[in-house]
Amino acid sequence: MLGAAVVLGMSCASQTRIIRTPVLPAGAQQGAFERQIQNARDAGDGDYQLRALREQVAASPDDVAVRLQLVNAYRERGYPDIALEMCRLAAERFPQSGDVQLALVRGLRDLNHRSEAISSLDTFLEAHPQSSPQYFSWLGILHDESGQWTAGEPSHRKAIELAPAQDYLHNNLGYNLLMQKKASEAALEFREALRLNPASQLARNNLGTALASQDDKGEALANWQSATDAATAHNNLAAVLIEKGNYAEARKELEVALGYNRVHPAALKNMELVSRLDGNAATLPAKLDTTRWVRWKAGFVRLFVGPLDDTNTHSQ
């Protein structure tokens, strides 16, 4: 579909459900904890860095930074479940720590527990107000990834209120608005993101999508072509038209794209998609007769330039 990725996904809002961990009998809690410790120990056997970090945590149990280093080490090694349980334990021990809360949110997100992540972050912010935009940005992203676009919008706006000069925050709000079918408002945010960071390819692609969604095809193409080739720009416009169900216009844009580049991978895939959707065979631009062109060019050179042979050339 689009030539570059956009932020987040899905659509439609839904109510967040709070997930609470059931209270287990004391013996069962101890057994689960011991199993978790054993799993962590087994996963770290033979890994010098993990052993060293575990020893540091044991020696300095109140050192939050070392605990989070250990969490990241397990996550990087492919043990997100162990990392998450360590985050839960750290959050219980350090309930006021913003760094621990963000690590917990990331851990829950890694395992697709977004509802619990939203609930946890909401509760934390109510008890411990923060002035950094990243907490509200994360909350907006979690809502967006859960398809709760309207719920995510206030969080994105709060993040911008705290850090208006951060281009990625404007881009994220713009994408949220775009998914709410507020294309004109979204375009304003993408333009602001580009004003703050003209090199943002993500914001430029998203701006093109917003413009195309408003049927401003000319400006959308000009926006895309300012950062990419003509074939990709026309393919991007075709992708938006496919999303809108306008297969006939999408086919025309894809034919233009393939006229510029007959082997453009995304355009070829989109042409195949359009053919499946509208039931019409794929059509490709006629291939240039290169042999005839070469003969004509050679005749032109002989007529106006004269013969080119070794006697008229010079070597360096």
What per-residue confidence (pLDDT) applies to 42? Answer: 56
Lowest mean pLDDT among 37-51, 80-94, 135-149, 175-189: 37-51
Lowest-confidence segment of 1-10, 140-149, 199-208, 253-262 by average pLDDT? 1-10
> Tens of pLDDT along 244-275?
899 999 999 999 999 999 999 999 999 999 99
For 67-119, write each residue's pLDDT tens digit.
999 999 999 999 999 999 999 999 999 999 999 999 999 999 999 999 999 99
99 vs 63: CA distance, rounded Å: 12
pTM over 0.75: no
pLDDT band at 36 (very low <50, low <70, confident <90, very high): low
Percent of the chain with pLDDT over 90: 70
Q: Classify the C-alpha dihedral 193-14-75-99 as positive or negative.
A: positive
CA distances from 205 to 39, 222, 237, 239, 309 (A): 44, 11, 10, 12, 50
Domains annotated for the chain, with CATH where assigned, are 32-112 (1.25.40.10), 130-222 (1.25.40.10), 228-310 (no CATH)
Place of tokens 């987040």: 8
Confidence of residue 135 (pLDDT cuts 50, 70, 90): very high
Q: Measure the CA–CA gap between 172 and 188, rounded to whole angstroms.
A: 12
